[in-house]
Amino acid sequence: MRKALYVMVLWAAGAQAGQCPVTPAQLPDFDNADVYSAEAFTITARNAQGMLSHRGELWLDARYSEVTALGEDVLLAKKAKGGFVLTDTRTGKQADVPYQVYVPHMQNGLLQVSDGDLNGFMDRTGKLVVPLQFSSILRFSEGLAAVQQDGKWGYINAQGKQVLPVQYDHVYPFYEARSVVKKDGQWQIIDQQGQTIATLPYAGVSYLKGGYAAVFNGDPLAEDEAQSARWGVIDRDGREVLPPRYEEVGFSGYYFAQGEDTPVASEGMIAVKENGLWGFANVAGKVIVPPRYAGAAYPFVQGLAVVEDNEGMKGLVNQSGEELVPPTFAQIYTEDQQTIPDSGLIVLSDSKIEGGGNQVWVREKAKMMASVYTNVLPVGKGLLAVEAKEGHGWTLYSSEGTELTPVSYQWINTFAQGLAAAQRDEKWGYIDETGKEVLAIQYEAVTPFQGDRALVKKDGRWQLIDRAGCVLATQP
Q: How is 393-412 classified by DSSP, letter by letter? A: -BEEEETTS-B--SS-BSEE
Is residue 349 pLDDT above 50, yes or no? Answer: yes
Average pLDDT over residues 187-204: 96
Is residue 371 pLDDT above 60, yes or no? Answer: no
Residue 248: alpha-carbon gap to chain centroid: 25
The overall average pLDDT reported for the chain is 85
- Supply the pLDDT for residue 223: 76
CB 180 within 8 A of CB 153: no
d(CA 193, CA 201): 22
d(CA 388, CA 373): 5
Model confidence band, residue 117 (pLDDT cutoffs 50, 70, 90): very high
Model confidence band, residue 261 (pLDDT cutoffs 50, 70, 90): low
- Supply the pLDDT for residue 2: 35
- Supply the pLDDT for residue 343: 47
For residues 47 and 358, the model is more confident at 47
d(CA 368, CA 110): 49
Is residue 434 pLDDT above 90, yes or no? Answer: yes
User: Is the pTM higher than 0.85?
Assistant: no
Model confidence band, residue 312 (pLDDT cutoffs 50, 70, 90): confident
CA distances from 407 to 183, 385, 411, 436 (A): 67, 12, 12, 10
Q: What is the DSSP string of 68-89?
A: EEEETTEEEEE-TTS-EEEEET
Average pLDDT over residues 282-306: 88
- What's the CA angle centered on 123, arms 121 and 126, to 5 degrees? 100
For 229-254, the pLDDT digits (tens) are: 899 999 999 999 999 999 999 875 44
Average pLDDT over residues 76-94: 92
- Supply the pLDDT for residue 345: 53
Least confident span in 30-44, 306-320, 458-472: 306-320
Percent of the chain with pLDDT over 70: 85
Q: Which amino acid is at 172?
A: Y
Is residue 10 pLDDT above 90, yes or no? Answer: no
d(CA 472, CA 24): 5
Is residue 15 pLDDT above 50, yes or no? Answer: no
Q: Three-state SS for 12?
A: helix
Average pLDDT over residues 325-329: 85
- Supply the pLDDT for residue 448: 95
- What's the CA angle centered on 311, arms 310 and 315, to 5 degrees? 85
In eight-state DSSP terms, residue 209 is B
Is residue 206 pLDDT above 70, yes or no? Answer: yes
- Supply the pLDDT for residue 94: 94
For residues 335 and 147, the model is more confident at 147
- Supply the pLDDT for residue 195: 97
Average pLDDT over residues 427-439: 96
For 378-416, the pLDDT digits (tens) are: 788 778 888 877 777 999 988 777 889 988 999 999 999
d(CA 458, CA 442): 7
For residues 342 and 162, the model is more confident at 162
Least confident span in 104-118, 174-188, 302-316: 302-316
User: Contacts by 83-91 with C-beta closer than 8 Å and gap 24+?
Assistant: 86/111, 86/122, 86/124, 86/125, 86/126, 87/59, 87/60, 88/124, 88/125, 89/53, 89/57, 89/59
In eight-state DSSP terms, residue 256 is H
Least confident span in 172-186, 294-308, 425-439: 294-308
Give per-residue burial for 148-174: e unless 16+ CB within 10 Å, then b: beeeebbbbbbeeeeebebebeebbbb
Task: Give which of 107, 118, 80, 82 is closest to 97, Cα–Cα.
Answer: 82
Residue 438: alpha-carbon gap to chain centroid: 30
CB 430 within 8 A of CB 420: yes
d(CA 432, CA 420): 6
Task: Give which of 266, 264, 369, 352 is closest to 308, Cα–Cα.
Answer: 352
Q: Which amino acid is at 255?
A: Y
List of residues 6+ apart from 350 with CB closer than 8 A: 329, 330, 331, 357, 358
- Supply the pLDDT for residue 5: 37
